[in-house]
Amino acid sequence: ADGELVQYHYGLKDLVTILFYIFIAIILHAVVQEYALDKINRRLHLSKVKHSKFNESGQLVAFHLTSVIWCLYVVVTEGYISNPRSLWENYPHVYLPYQVKFFYLCQLAYWLHALPELYFQKVRKEEIPRQLRCIALYLLHIAGAYLLNLTRLGLILLLLQYLAEFFFHVARLVYFTDENNEKLFNIWAVVFVVTRLFTLTLYILVIGFGLPRVESQALDPERGNFFSFLFNNILFRMSVLLLVCLFQASVMWRFIHFQLRRWREYWNEQSSRKRAAAAAGTKQQTKPLKRDSGYHENGVVKAENGTSPRTKKLKSP
């Protein structure tokens, strides 16, 4: 009927939809690579290592920018930001609006398409374990939020994560074009810290205060209720919050360690440049100057006793 709201549930047919959009993602990946990244690479003349990292960051910048805009549109139109209570109210969120379900299917399709792209892009063997770990973590979290009916919380977390990743890969692209330009890394550092704080606050709000207040506290897999009965136990709830805080603390520790190492390398490079400039200046000052045997006066070279250095020609008698 007119005005009827149609909602969707997950099922086995989602696998066919995901497979279709994997092929779409492969085509879009090739378009971005050929018509944008390859043309830029020809002008920059990067090394093989930088060439691979430039392609990776270029593809992720396009994906993260699209995902941030799309995810922001979904959470605003669905009212998840204006009404934070909607993140846990009426849990489990078994039935999804069309745009939420479609967003999750496209996200799963993109990260699954990244697996064959490791072969198509001829990624170096040293880089494959890192990229496989990244792909596996994204697939685990996105599929977990989708199958365990935590899609609303997952949307906000993905928005924060993709925002920080977008600034990081933009900073890396700018760094490859100009190695002296590292200002965007400072912007990424600020965005990263802010998004981590928001992520931790969101976890505490939803896990510590939201899910324990859900009316249905019984385990009911048929209705999609997997968590609320666990979070009713204060010991389990505090254990989960402790694990979340420890994980976020480890991420921040690695980030701080990375920043300290980067600043130390920067100051060492600056000090070495200053020492090299000072050494070059002292060499120029101590360089011996060629001087004539006499001194110049009105354009004529004269000896030290005032006489001309030229020998006087004697007349024959």
Give the residue, 235 or 113, on which the prediction is more confident.
Answer: 113
User: Residue 117 in contact with residue 29, Cβ under 8 Å?
Assistant: yes
- Lowest-pLDDT range, 6-10, 150-154, 310-314? 310-314
Alpha helix (H) residue ranges in 178-286 = 183-203, 228-231, 234-286
Residues 91, 230 contacting (CB under 8 angstroms):
no
Residue 29 tokens read as: 């990946």
| Nearest residue to 189 via CA among 124, 254, 270, 142 | 254
Query: From CA 212, how far away is CA 229, in angstroms rounded?
Result: 8
Average pLDDT over residues 223-228: 63
Higher pLDDT, 225 or 173: 173
Can you give the pTM of this predicted structure?
A: 0.80
User: Are the beta carbons of 163 and 195 closer than 8 angstroms?
Assistant: yes
More confident residue, 221 or 267: 267
How many Cα atoms sit within 13 Å of 184 on the Cβ side? 18
Q: What does the domain layout of the chain look like in residue ranges?
A: 7-275
> CA torsion 72→74→79→82, rounded to 10°?
0
Q: What's the whole-number mean pLDDT along residues 49-78? A: 93
Confidence of residue 316 (pLDDT cuts 50, 70, 90): very low
Tell me the per-residue pLDDT of 143-164, one tens digit each, with 9 for 90 and over: 999 988 889 999 999 999 999 9
* Secondary element (H or E) of residue 295: strand 295-297
Higher local confidence (pLDDT), 289 or 160: 160
